[in-house]
Amino acid sequence: MIQLLLVDDDPSYRTNTASLLRYKKYEVIEAEKVADAIELIEKASEPYPIVVADMLFNEGSGLDVLECAKLKRFLTQVIVVTAHGNTSNAVTAMENGAFTYHEKDGGDGGGDLLLTQVGAAYHRFRQLSEAYMRVRDVDDIRATLRSISGQIEVLSARLDGTARAMEDLFHSPLAHPSE
């Protein structure tokens, strides 16, 4: 089950959205306040792959949640939602790393659109996670190759030293006593 954090101070919207997401088999953790969301993010043993956060709160903003989520795990996809949408807020959210900006409309279309956005956000999270793991695998291979290369250099130096010692021994008067 895919876990996500839903942060909204409107109890009706939060309850309805959580129910819809749970119906679609998401495990939804709810927070009413920015401070609660930040605490949940910071204390989570595994970072949330998806965070859905309202933009406007009495104390703080969805941008605070966005920043905290991205600091915990930069791959986390954050959807910023609002009932008071404007272009400036949308641009600010996107510039700060939001996956998308969703305007609450109160109708059925809003729920369907949010579900689509959550699904797309999780798909993006998975793609980025897999790419990140491949990059880490490449880094591990590079480190292994550097280690092997260093070991080869050490062995090569030992062989050179052994070869010189054998050559010196071969050319020494002790190697040819009859001469």
Structural domain spans, the chain = 2-134, 137-175
CA-CA-CA-CA torsion sign (79, 84, 87, 89): negative
Condensed to tens digits (0 to 9), the pLDDT of residues 117-149 reads 999 999 999 998 888 777 666 666 777 777 777
Q: Say what the pLDDT of residue 155 is.
A: 74
Helix (H, G, I), strand (E, B) or coil at 85: coil
Q: Which helix (H) or strand (E) holds 119?
A: helix 108-171
- List, for the chain, all residue ranges whose pLDDT scores fall below the cut of 70: 106-110, 135-140, 163, 169, 172-179
- Domain spanning 2-134: CATH superfamily: Response regulator (3.40.50.2300)
pTM of the model: 0.74
Q: Are 62 and 56 in contact (CB under 8 A)?
A: yes
Q: Are 72 and 50 in contact (CB under 8 A)?
A: no
Q: Say what the pLDDT of residue 169 is.
A: 66
Q: How far apart are CA 26 and CA 49, in angstroms?
A: 11
Q: Which tokens is 142 given?
A: 């590079």
Q: Are 50 and 77 in contact (CB under 8 A)?
A: yes
